[in-house]
Amino acid sequence: MLYPIRRALAQTIYFPLVTAGSTGFQPTWTPAAAECRYIGDGAGIANLGSVCAHEDAGIWSQALTVAESSFGTTVLVYSDSETDVEDQSIICHTGFSA
């Protein structure tokens, strides 16, 4: 999934997460810090400053800090060790920000 974001701005993005082994959205996952990570401009992977939050009906939000959105490309990685959700990555790109 490709998501345009503003560079160097604290912001929140929204996205669906799918239940592992299913086609339905996941409303009940409780993510651990090590399951919500990011890679900025190809550097090493690190934990996000906060875990994602369930909004409603399988739609989740992720608050990004100024530091996490300061790259040209920030890749968010959600990898569930308990297999409650399908692993997901979101490519956040600042190339179109003003």
Cα dist from 58 to 13, 31, 69, 76, 97, whole Å: 14, 14, 24, 18, 28
pLDDT of residue 10 exceeding 90, the answer is: yes
Cα dist from 97 to 4, 22, 86, whole Å: 8, 35, 30
Q: What residue ranges define each of the domains in the chain, with the CATH number in brackets?
A: 2-93 (2.60.40)
* Residue 7 DSSP label: T
Give residue 82's pLDDT.
87
What's this model's pTM, rounded to 2 decimal places? 0.93
Q: What is the pLDDT of residues 28-65, one digit of tens each?
A: 999 999 999 999 999 999 999 999 999 999 999 999 99
